[in-house]
Structure 1
Amino acid sequence: MQKVKTDILTHRGSHFDLGVQTAQWMQQTPLLKNREKEWKKRMPRFDIHIKETYDIFQTYAPQIWEEIRGMQEVLNLPTNQMILNFAHYRFTPLKNSGCTVYLGRDYMVRNYDYHPATYDGRYQLFQPNDGGLAQIGPTSRVTGRMDGMNEAGLSMGYNFMHRKHPGDGFVCYMIGRLILQYCKDVPEAIQLLKEIPHRSSFSYIVMDKHLNHAIIEVSPRSLDVRYDRTCTNHFKLLTHENRNYTKESKERLDRLLKQTPNGLDKMHAFELFNNPEFEIYSKLFKSWSGTIHTTMYEPQSLKAYMTLGENKMPTVIDFEQWLNGQPLDIHSLYGHIDTDLTFASY
C-alpha cells in the first residue's frame, strides 16, 4: 500500500498569471520529465498543428491559451512542445480505463479510474479576473480537469467509452475544463458539447444548482442525451459506438444499481464508491483502470469532497467561502493506493 499526496493550489487573478504559477509548481516536481519519458515509450498517434490549434483556442477558449502562454514564459519550451503537453487538441494523421458516476438528489459522486503515472497530483481552486468561471477540482495533464465544479454550481465528470475511429478535436480533460470554464448550467453544457470538435468517445455527466442533470453521450460523429443517474463505461443510446467488450462495465453498473436506492444519503454514497468491499472501487491500476480518487460535489452548497485512494473520509472544501475571500487552511491531500506505480509529479 503506497501513501500518495495531492498538492492544493489556489489562484485569484489572470489566466496568464495562473500559467506562471502552474509552471513554477511544475519546476518543483519531475512531472515534465516523466511526461517526456512517457512520450518516448509511446510515440504520439496524432499530429501537432500550431496555427490550427491557436485558431481553435481563439474560437472556444482564448483565456486558456493565455494560461498556456504564461506557462511557456516560465518553462521556455517551444510552442510545439507546449501544444503537445498542454493544449490537448489532437489531429488524426488503446488503453482501457474505468470511472463510475452516480447522481444523487442533490450531489454527484465519482470514482476516477486510470493509471497513476498519468495523474498530476494537483487540486486547483481558481478564481479568474479576465473571463470564465471560477472552478474547483483535480487537474489533469496540468491544464485539463477530469471532474470539478464551478462558481455557478455546475458539476462535471466524464467516463471513457472508446478511442476507436478518433477525430480531430479536444480530448476529454480539456473538454471537462471547457465545460467548467464557460457553462453555468446543464443546457449550456449540452450546447457546448454540440458545438466543439471531439477527439474520442466519452460520456459527460453534469448537474447544476437547479439539480437538473444529464449524461451526454458523445463521439466524434454523434451526440445524444439521457437523463439517468448512473454511468459506467458503455453507451446506452449510442450503442453502435460501443467497443466490443462491455461486460465489465455492465457488471459494474448492475452492482451500482443494486446498491443505490432512491434517496441514498450522500455519505453512504461516498462510502459505496470509496470502500473496495462494495466492488465499485477498483484496484486494477496496471490495467489503466484503478481508482485514484473519489470526489463528490454539491451544486447548491458549493461544497466539494475529495479523497485520494481507498477507505478514507473525504476532505470537505467550502468553495463558496473561498470565493468570498476566505483563505484555504489546507495545502495537501493524502491517501493510500494499493500499487507501487507513482504519480506523474513524484
Structure 2
Amino acid sequence: MLWRALNEDLPGPKWAGLFAEYWPDYQRWWLKEGESARPTYLEGYRALQQHMPEIVPLYDQLCDLAGGGDRAARFLSFYCPPPYLSGCSQAIWTGQEPVLVRNYDYNPKAFDSLILKTGWQGRQVMGLSDGLWGLVDGMNDAGLAISLTFGGRRIVGPGFGVPLILRYVLQTCSTAQEAGEALARIPTHMSYNVTVLDAKRQYLTAMMAPDRPALITHAAVATNHQESVEWISHARFTATVERERFLLQRLSLHRDPQDKFIGAFLRPPLYSTAFDAGFGTLYTSVYRPRLGEMEVRWPGTIWSLSFKEFHESGRQVQIPGAA
C-alpha cells in the first residue's frame, strides 16, 4: 500500500486535489444502494446545522473545493451513508506517559491510506483520514486523542457516519469530558465504540448506537461488541471477546511495560491477516496526547509524526497478508 502524509493548514488546493483523486471511488460506494437511498442535500445540511453547527462553515468550504456538486455535498455531510463494518481493537495504557493504541482492521481497497494534518478553524488536528475530512483515529493540539471500533450490531438508523463525528470532536473539544458530552448527543447511523484520552490522563469510551442512548463508560479497552455480544457470528469471526480479554489481562493481571503493550498489537490475537474477509490489520496507531506525538506502526516499521515535526512524505508499506 502507498501511504501519504499531507499537511494543509487551511482548506485549499491540496485537499481539492485529494477529493478529485478519491471521489470516483467514493461516489461508487456512496451510490451502491442507489441515489434515492441517500439523504438529500437539504436533509444533510439541516442535520449538520442541528447537531454540529460549529463545523458547518468548514463543510461549506469543502463543498466549494469539491466543485459544488449536489452528490459531492451530500456525501461530505456524512449523513446516513451506506452501512460499513470494520474489526478493530483499541486500549489506553495509563502509565507514566499515557497512550492510546489501536489496530484498524479493514479492507485495504476501501481505505484512504492517508495521514492528514490540518489547521482548519484554528485547531491543529492530525490523524488517519476517512472520507477525506472524517477520521478513524486522530489527535488535536489540545491533547485530545480519539479512535473508533465497530460496535458489533447490525441495526442502521438515522445519523452520521462516525468518522465525521470524530472530526467534530477533535475540532471542537479539548477534554475527555467535553468529548463525552458531544458523543452522547450526536446521532450515529451504526453502533460504534469511541475511546478518548486527554492531556490530563482522563479517558472514557462511548458506546454509541442509532437506536438507544449512548453509554459513556470508563472502559480502557474496546473491541467489536458493546455491553454484550449481539451479533454472534460476527463476534466469533472477529474474536472480539477474546481480544477484549487479552487486552484486559495485559492492562491488569500482567501490567505490561508500555513498549511490550504496544508490541502486542502487532501480533495475534490482536493482529489479523484475514484480508480475504475484509478484516485484516492495516496499521497500528499510537497516540501520546500530552506530547503531541503519534506513530503509525507495521511489523518492523514505525512512522513517527508530531505537531512540531510533521513532514509531508509517502512510503510504500508491505502489509502482511494483504494481496
TM range (shorter): 0.7 to 0.9
- 1:242 paired with 2:230, answer yes
Residues of 1 paired with 2:33 and 2:296: CA distance? 31
2:285 match: secondary structure: strand
Q: Shift in Å at residue 10 of structure 1?
A: 0.8
Which one of the candidate residues 20, 39, 50 is aligned to 1:59?
50
| Structure 1 vs Structure 2 CA RMSD | 2.5
Residue 219 of structure 1 and its aligned partner are, at CA, apart by 1.0
Match of 1:170, SS state, is coil
Question: Do the aligned partners of 1:113 and 1:292 also contact (CA within 8 Å) in 2?
Answer: yes
Instruction: Report 1:120-269 matches (<5 A).
Output: 120-128=112-120, 130=121, 133-220=123-210, 221-236=212-227, 239=228, 242-245=230-233, 246-247=235-236, 248-261=239-252, 263-269=255-261
CA distance in 1, matches of 2:256, 2:321: 31
Q: Which residue matches 1:5?
A: 2
- Work out the CA distance in 1 between the residues paired with 2:251 and 2:188: 32
Deviation at 1:143, TM superposition (A): 1.4
Do residues 87 (structure 1) and 69 (structure 2) align? no
Q: Is the 8 A contact 1:91 1:167 kept in 2?
A: no
Name which of structure 1's ranges 182-191 and 40-49 shifts more when overlaid on structure 2: 40-49
Quote how far apart the aligned CAs of 1:250 are. Answer: 0.5
| Displacement of 1:202 | 0.8
- The aligned amino acid for 2:111 is Y
Q: Are residue 315 (structure 1) and residue 281 (structure 2) matched?
A: no
CA contact 2:88–2:150 (8 Å) conserved in 1: yes
Q: CA deviation at 1:98?
A: 0.8
Q: CA deviation at 1:42?
A: 5.2
Tell me the TM-score normalized by structure 2: 0.87
- Cα gap change, 1:88 to 1:180, in 2 (>3 Å): same
CA contact (8 A) 2:150 2:192 kept: yes
| Conservation of the 8 A alpha-carbon contact between 1:87 and 1:143 | no
Matching of residues 19-98 of structure 1 within 5 Å: 20-27=13-20, 29=21, 31-39=22-30, 43=34, 46-62=37-53, 64-76=55-67, 78-84=69-75, 86-90=76-80, 96-98=85-87
Distance 1:64 1:5, change over 3 A: farther
SS of structure 1 residue aligned to 2:23? helix
User: 1:157 aligns to what SS in structure 2?
Assistant: strand
Give the distance between the partners of 2:203 and 2:154, measured in 1 at CA.
28
Instruction: Measure how far apart 1:249 and its partner are.
Output: 0.7
Q: Is the 8 A contact 1:312 1:335 kept in 2?
A: no
Give 1:50's aligned amino acid: Y
**Contact residue 81 and residue 160 of structure 2 kept, 8 A:** no
How many aligned residue pairs are there? Answer: 315
Identity of aligned residues (%): 22
Task: State the secondary structure of the residue aligned to 1:283.
Answer: coil
Alpha-carbon distance between aligned partners in 1 of 2:67 and 2:299, rounded to the nearest angstrom = 41
- Cα distance in 1 for partners of 2:54, 2:5 equals 22
Q: Which runs of 5+ in 2 are unaligned?
A: none
Give 1:91 shift: 7.5
Superposed CA deviations along residues 214-273 of structure 1, whole A, max 9, x for unmatched, are 11111121221221221111112xx3x832333321122223334445653332222211
Specify whether residues 339 and 37 from structure 1 end up closer, same or farther in structure 2 by C-alpha distance, changes over 3 A only: farther
Question: In 2 relative to 1, CA 42–118 (structure 1 residues): closer, same or farther, beyond 3 Å?
Answer: farther
**For residues 62-94 of structure 1, what are the alpha-carbon distances to aligned partners after superposition, in whole Å with 9 as ceiling and x for unaligned?**
56444444444344352233312x2211189x7
